[in-house]
Amino acid sequence: MIDLKIIRENPELVKATCKKRGCDVDIDALAALDREHREALGKAEGLRAERNRLSKECQTNPDARVKVKDMKEELASLEERSAVLAKEIDEKLSWLPNLIDDAVPQGETDADNQEIRKVGKLPEFSFQPKDHQELGEILGIIDAARGAKVAQAGFYYWKGKGAQLCQALFYWTQMELIKRGFTLFMTPCVAKEHTLYGTGYLPFFADQTYALKNEDLALIGTSEQTLVGYHADEILEGEQLPLCYTAYTPCFRTESGSYGKASRGIFRVHQFHKVEQIIFCKPEDSVKYHEFCLENEEYLLQQLGLPYHVVNVCLGDMGAPGYRKFDIEAWFPGFNAYREVTSNTNLTDFQSGRLKIRYKDKDGGKGFVHTISATAVTDRVAIAILENYQQADGSVVIPEVLRPFTGFDKIEPAK
């Protein structure tokens, strides 16, 4: 949430940001509403002060009672005016995107993202590599047809050693993050509208959420929603920051409007599974912890032996709540391309402002915390493993680090 103070003090900055991000909220009109609101509020408060004073006289002076009674109507209309304006302002404010780091490149789509570095050697195959859909069928470990039968197209089963591979990946990742100072959570998989609003998923991505009928609840699109919402309306002790949280949850997204986008196999689906990194920190530290999360992501991919590149995500490919974002795209031999596996966003005070997550230092420092939201791993990493570690006969070798958790070192084709 953009603070009204910024709009008062530096409206040009906010206007420029809106223009860049394609937000059509009229900032001048918003500033005018703000002035009007504060004026009404000031008048109402002055009147109320007068009323409170007279009220005290009422016991001894019957005339005061008449006077106060006369003020009632005026006060009520000022209060109503002020409430209506406040609501209008909030509505407009909720649509404003976050400010943007100067380092964010111009551009419309992921094609305009800038490569920062490329890591790892691309695998060489003496045969035509298969994509994960084909491998999943050969190995009998991915079943999208039955996912569609039982649920809907876009849902799927991991089965047998494929399911074991995923669980090993997720468990190993959680252990690695715990070693790096993260606290592990198991969170609700539903959240109320206020939480989705507060984390910036509403109103911007309303068509992506699965809302529950007759409930003020939706299935979570990511544990970011439940982990960041965890500290809503709290004031954190400055000295306990940063708080580093992780959780493994399913993530539900309708993906409406994205048909045909890299949709082969289970790359883009309605339910996936993710280990998340969330950090709450002081504003001056968010750049540092944004990098910290990126290092963790890179460490995990390196340990898994997956080639990838890091990209500096451009304006158009970054959601409205983001201030700066790094994606990692792993190499997928089946696609013959780098494809997004993790996404790491510095949200600055966008979420904390909406959710009222503040901090207070002993020496008097206070304000909204900054939040970092970053993927650790998802199912997509598992399918990158399938595609990168495939053998000529369709079998897949398990990366070294996961073997203690899978209990096997290879998945063989089903008979």
Q: Which residues pair with 211 in a beta bridge?
A: 218
Is residue 268 annotated as part of the catalytic site, yes or no? Answer: yes
Asked if 87 is part of the footprint of RNA (rule: CB under 7 A), the reply reads no
Nearer to RNA, 38 or 159 (CB): 38
Burial of 215 (0-12, 13-18, 19+ CB in 10 A): exposed
Annotated catalytic residue within 343, 358, 373, 387: 343
Stretch that binds RNA, among 48-56, 202-210, 281-289, 401-409 (CB under 7 A): 48-56
Select the residue interacting with RNA from 24, 59, 284, 393 (CB under 7 A). 59
Asked if 56 is part of the footprint of RNA (rule: CB under 7 A), the reply reads yes
Q: CA 112, CA 53: separation in Å to the nearest integer?
A: 63
How near is the Cβ of 350 to RNA at its closest, in Å?
Answer: 16
Select the residue interacting with RNA from 45, 101, 110, 291 (CB under 7 A). 45
Is residue 35 annotated as part of the catalytic site, yes or no? Answer: no
Asked if 54 is part of the footprint of RNA (rule: CB under 7 A), the reply reads yes
Asked if 86 is part of the footprint of RNA (rule: CB under 7 A), the reply reads no
Stretch that binds RNA, among 55-63, 167-175, 181-189, 292-300 (CB under 7 A): 55-63
Annotated catalytic residue within 286, 354, 380, 387: 380
3 state SS for the chain = CCCHHHHHHCHHHHHHHHHHHCCCCCHHHHHHHHHHHHHHHHHHHHHHHHHHHHHHHCCCCHHHHHHHHHHHHHHHHHHHHHHHHHHHHHHHHHCCCCCCCCCCCCCCCHHHCEEEEEECCCCCCCCCCCCHHHHHHHHCCEEHHHHHHHCCECECEECHHHHHHHHHHHHHHHHHHHHCCCEEECCCCEECHHHHHHCCCCCCCHHHCCECCCCCCEECCCHHHHHHHCCCCCEEEHHHCCEEEEEEEEEECCCCCCCCCCCCCCCCCCEEEEEEEEEEECHHHHHHHHHHHHHHHHHHHHHHCCCEEEEECCHHHCCCCCCEEEEEEEEECCCCEEEEEEEEEECCCHHHHHHCCEEECCCCCEEECEEEEEEEEEHHHHHHHHHHCECCCCCEECCHHHHHHHCCCEECCCC
Stretch that binds RNA, among 49-57, 112-120, 257-265, 347-355 (CB under 7 A): 49-57
Nearer to RNA, 78 or 383 (CB): 78
Nearer to RNA, 343 or 352 (CB): 352
Site string for RNA, 352-371 (x = CB under 7 A): ------x-x-x---x-----
Asked if 55 is part of the footprint of RNA (rule: CB under 7 A), the reply reads yes
Is residue 264 annotated as part of the catalytic site, yes or no? Answer: no
Q: CA 225, CA 276: separation in Å to the nearest integer?
A: 11
Q: CA 185, CA 22: separation in Å to the nearest integer?
A: 36
Q: Are 96 and 319 in contact (CB under 8 A)?
A: no
Q: CA 51, CA 219: separation in Å to the nearest integer?
A: 48
Nearer to RNA, 185 or 205 (CB): 185
Asked if 52 is part of the footprint of RNA (rule: CB under 7 A), the reply reads yes
How many of the chain's residues bind RNA (CB under 7 A)?
A: 26
How near is the Cβ of 48 to RNA at its closest, in Å?
Answer: 4
Annotated catalytic residue within 268, 324, 354, 358: 268
The residue behind tokens 């919402």 is 229
Q: CA 118, CA 307: separation in Å to the nearest integer?
A: 8
Select the residue interacting with RNA from 10, 19, 35, 69 (CB under 7 A). 69
How near is the Cβ of 81 to RNA at its closest, in Å?
Answer: 14
Is residue 38 annotated as part of the catalytic site, yes or no? Answer: no
How near is the Cβ of 168 to RNA at its closest, in Å?
Answer: 23
Is residue 65 annotated as part of the catalytic site, yes or no? Answer: no
Nearer to RNA, 312 or 371 (CB): 371
Select the residue interacting with RNA from 38, 43, 81, 403 (CB under 7 A). 38
Nearer to RNA, 120 or 188 (CB): 188
Asked if 72 is part of the footprint of RNA (rule: CB under 7 A), the reply reads yes
Stretch that binds RNA, among 67-75, 319-327, 372-380, 394-402 (CB under 7 A): 67-75
Nearer to RNA, 13 or 58 (CB): 58
Catalytic center residues = 253, 268, 340, 343, 380
The site for RNA (CB under 7 A) is made up of: 4-5, 38, 41-42, 45-46, 48-49, 51-56, 58-59, 65, 68-69, 72, 235, 358, 360, 362, 366
